[in-house]
Amino acid sequence: MCGRFVSASSPDEIARYFDAEAPEALLEPSYNVAPTNDVYAVLNDGGVRRLDAFHWGLVPIWAKDPRQGSKMINARAETLAAKNAYKPAFKRRRCIIPADGFYEWKKIPGQKTKQPHFIHRPEGEPLAFAGLWEVWRGPDKQGDPLRSCTIVTTSANETMQPLHDRMPVILPASAWEEWLDPANDDIETLGKLLVPAPSELIVTHPVSTEVNSVRNKGAELIDPVDPEAEQGQLA
């Protein structure tokens, strides 16, 4: 599961990191990206790797309404090749969704409110989430095309297991070219890339429950907190 993440690096920084062309559409930095927000994604379009803006929540080409995407922010790696909503994009329209980190919520015994945690790389480098993208034009094909994306998830590694049983697929740099190549439709081989990241790739720490509100977007959301003090304020 990945329902909130951080995208605060500048588009130029992201483009350089992924060796991609910078985007035309610029998004505001956000420490609390939520479903249906616009997000950056890296894709290979016509032999050129570029960074672009997409709606987060995949809208299949057959959807009658773009609101369908709110239910498709994540796609399970184990079923990509079997589900009609994802299989076409899995074969031809794969992307990388850059993130500075993401959030997950942990159940606390005796407490109603879960404790949010921020998950990130220890050295602060971006995470490369495996993603799929699609173009939706509506039933009448008359409106402006909507480009949307979803984050692929897999089982949790040891670092994530205390928080959740799922996590985003985080692709190593060695897999980027293969994953992004639109001419590569070998879904069996591509599926082998969709595995949990090494446990040492990420670290976690508790953060304020202020992240629970999508209205809060500031950098203070990723600051570490004392979970006992935090839960005490909510009791």
Place of tokens 């980027």: 176
Q: Which of the following is catalytic: 2, 134, 149, 230?
A: 2
Query: Are 35 and 70 a contacting pair, CB within 8 Å?
Result: yes
Place of tokens 């069996």: 188
Cα distance between residue 107 and residue 78, in whole Å: 26
Segments of the chain assigned E as strands:
5-7, 30-33, 38-45, 48-56, 74-76, 94-99, 101-106, 115-120, 127-136, 146-155, 166-168, 203-206
Q: Is residue 149 annotated as part of the catalytic site, yes or no?
A: no
The encoded tokens of residue 204 equal 């976690």
Cα distance between residue 21 and residue 15, in whole Å: 6
DSSP string, 60-82: -TT-SSGGGGGG-SEEEGGGTTT
Cα distance between residue 44 and residue 48, in whole Å: 5
Q: Is residue 95 annotated as part of the catalytic site, yes or no?
A: no
Query: Are 106 and 162 a contacting pair, CB within 8 Å?
Result: yes
- What is the amino acid identity at position 88? P
Q: Which of the following is catalytic: 21, 24, 104, 210?
A: 104
The catalytic site residues sit at 2, 104
